[in-house]
């Protein structure tokens, strides 16, 4: 089902963005080729996790308890999925070049991919682990020439998978709890999650 929405094997462009908690604004963040490759892997890993879930695709039911992973989707035009539909439709966003100044204000991060047929997919992830390593500044180390040394730069950590994937037609839900938290964030911002 999800494979018909975008060709993750032929990705033509990748954008990375964040949503700020304080004002609901969305921004793209400049990235290099290595990060773009990692984000492609995250998208592919999320699709693989959805496809590995047992059973057929099920329409999302707000009253259902999704304790274990299932193949769950919801139409993007469903009112309950408004935050993800708004994000998908956001289009061009301003760049945020001073990300370290906004670390503690990041609610979630997202990746927008476009395939070679101009079909788009947006992966969304609650920014818990992403921000977690910032607190470990001057406590993270790297091995260089058989010697451990402190990493003095601000470091972020990407997750292995996105919580949801949004396409033109559907929202595919991998992690229901995090999806509901992102949706709750949108409602607390008065539905103003845009740039």
First to last CA, the chain: 31
Report residue 103 as tokens.
Answer: 């670390």
pLDDT at 98 over 90: no
Q: What is the pLDDT of residues 62-81, one digit of tens each?
A: 777 767 778 889 999 998 88
Q: How confident is the model at residue 195, as a pLDDT?
A: 38
Residue 168 binned pLDDT confidence (cut-offs 50, 70, 90): very high
**Both structure tokens of 168:** 């033109």
How many C-beta atoms lie closer than 10 Å to residue 11's C-beta? 19
* Predicted local distance difference test score (pLDDT) of residue 76: 92
Distance CA 83, CA 55 (A): 27
How many CB atoms lie under 10 A from the CB of residue 137? 14
Mean pLDDT of 135-145: 77
What is the pTM assigned to this prediction?
Answer: 0.85
Give the helix/strand (H/E) hosting 124: strand 120-126
Nearest to 123 by CA among 188, 36, 194, 21: 36
């Amino acid at each position: 089902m999800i494979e018909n929405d975008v060709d993750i094997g032929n990705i033509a462009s990748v954008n990375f963005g964040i949503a700020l908690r304080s004002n609901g604004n969305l921004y793209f963040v400049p990235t290099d080729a290595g990060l773009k490759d990692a984000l492609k892997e995250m998208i592919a890993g999320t699709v693989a996790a959805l496809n590995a879930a047992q059973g057929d695709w099920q329409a999302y039911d707000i009253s259902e308890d999704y304790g274990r992973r299932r193949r769950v989707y919801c139409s993007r035009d469903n009112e309950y999925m408004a935050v993800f539909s708004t994000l998908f439709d956001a289009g061009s966003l301003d760049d945020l070049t001073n990300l370290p100044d906004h670390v503690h204000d990041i609610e979630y991060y997202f990746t927008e991919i476009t395939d070679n047929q101009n079909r788009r997919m947006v992966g969304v992830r609650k920014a818990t682990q992403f921000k977690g390593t910032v607190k470990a500044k001057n406590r993270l180390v790297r091995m260089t020439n058989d010697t451990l040394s402190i990493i003095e730069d601000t470091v972020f950590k990407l997750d292995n998978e996105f919580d949801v994937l949004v396409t033109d037609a559907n929202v595919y839900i991998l992690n229901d709890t995090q999806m509901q938290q992102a949706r709750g964030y949108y409602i607390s911002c008065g539905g103003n999650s845009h740039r």
